[in-house]
Amino acid sequence: MPIYAYACSSCGLQKDVLQKMSDAPLAVCPECCKETFAKQLTAAGFQLKGGGYYATDFKNPPKAEPKAEPACAPSCASASSCPVANGAA
């Protein structure tokens, strides 16, 4: 059964109501008892359950990003033992 959002324009009450799709919309506010209770337009919320949803959506493995070369400290780059400056890394 869907959950519908209702709001009263008189007292400002907002309430979510679990109703069948065949039920008539509510009109009387449960708080102030005025006929100003109206269904609100909201985004549909749904949940995917079970297996197979992600297996078909992401068939290709994520692309590996190119490795960045390690940065050297200025004192290391001038030294002869620096592996980056000498092309060893």
Residue 56, phi then psi, degrees to nearest 5 = -90, -20
Distances (CA, A) of 87 to 31, 45, 66, 69, 78: 76, 55, 18, 11, 13
Q: What is the pLDDT of residue 2?
A: 85
Q: What is the pLDDT of residue 11?
A: 94
Contact in structure between 13 and 31 (CB atoms under 8 Å): yes
Write out the chain's pLDDT in tens, 89 residues. 888 999 999 999 999 999 998 999 999 999 999 999 999 988 876 766 766 656 556 666 667 777 766 566 565 655 566 665 555 54
